[in-house]
A and B are shown apart, each in its own frame.
Chain A
Amino acid sequence: MSEDLVIKNECLNDKVIVILSGEADIYTSSQLKDKLYELIDKNKTDIIIDCNELSYIDSTGLGVFAGALKKAGQYNKSIYIRGLKSNIKKLFTITGLDRLFIIEE
């Protein structure tokens, strides 16, 4: 019933790009968490999350992003978020998460 979340990843120089498309909600957030944590632990690099095709995120998905940022911090790495749609950027602003992540246009 819920729109799937498709997660792809590719390497760019010393960073890993995670490309999300679909919806990150309570139905898909465990899938997102597993993949992000795996990539952080395996690569120990900065992560770029490409959200150009992400149509929806809820507090569960935002919580996964925040957890991933904490995990990346254990390796002194950062998470960059790019391509946020206006409706999703609004949620980052409301929750104050825009101040924690490096958000690129």
Chain B
Amino acid sequence: METTDIIELSLPFKPEYVSIARLTSSAVASRIGFDIETVEDIKVAVSEVCTKYIKKGSNCANHYKLIFKVFKDCLEISFDCQDKTLKCIFSQEDDGLAISIINALMDEVKLCSEDENYLLNMSKKLEGKV
């Protein structure tokens, strides 16, 4: 897939900044043509991931990063951090609600990214613009 644009956002591990992730994800999703309901879905899923990282926190990193990759027919959102101990931290026992929400709202979710450059990947297809 050919990436057209990449937008990155770096946030501190602080609850008061999760709304920035929501606003940014809404803006990006809306900008590339998702309908209002899907924009809301993407926003909610992104926020759940940010919330998990903040709850977990980090001893060696101050920020975590959101990377929005805009493809012709898809939006892919990846998360990264210098602290790689944040990889694969979702557990069904502790995060059942969050996992249900993320999986239901996004088309593809990899809570443990197969890409060593990222902690987690998720994507949403842009219906009707393929």
Are B16 and A1 interface neighbours, CB within 8 A?
Answer: yes
How many pairs of residues, A versus B, come closer than 8 Å at their CB atoms? 54
B48–A58 CB distance below 8 A: yes
Quick one: CB contact mask for A63-103 with B, threshold 8 Å, 1 for yes? Answer: 10000000000000000000000010001001110000000
- CB-CB < 8 A to A95: which residues of B? 97, 100-101
Report if A26 contacts B (CB, 8 A).
yes
* Across-interface contacts of A60 in B (CB, < 8 A): 51
A25 touches B97 (CB 8 A): no
Report the interface size class on chain B: 20 to 34
Residue in contact with B18 in the complex, picked from A26, A87, A91, A94, CB distance below 8 Å: A26
SS class, residues of chain B in contact with chain A: helix
Task: Tell me whether B101 and A94 are in contact (CB under 8 A).
Answer: yes
Interface size on A, residues (CB 8 A): 18
Q: Which of A2, A56, A63, A87 contacts B16 (CB 8 A)?
A: A2
Question: Given the known A-B contacts A2-B19, A3-B19, A25-B15, are A59 and B98 also in contact in the complex, defined by CB atoms under 8 Å?
Answer: yes
**Contact across chains for B15 and A56 when beta carbons are under 8 A apart:** no
Q: Is the CB of B54 within 8 A of A26?
A: yes
Q: For A56, A59, A60, A94, which residue has the most chain B Cβ atoms within 10 angstroms?
A: A59
User: Does the CB pair A25–B44 fall under 8 Å?
Assistant: no
B32-65 CB mask vs A (1 if < 8 Å, else 0) is: 0000010010001001100100110000000000
B37 to A, closest residue via Cβ: A87
A94 to B98 alpha-carbon distance, docked (Å): 10
Closest CB pairs A-B (n = 3): A27-B15, A59-B97, A2-B19
**Interface pairs (9), CB distance under 8 Å:** A1-B20, A25-B15, A25-B47, A27-B19, A58-B44, A59-B97, A59-B101, A87-B40, A96-B100
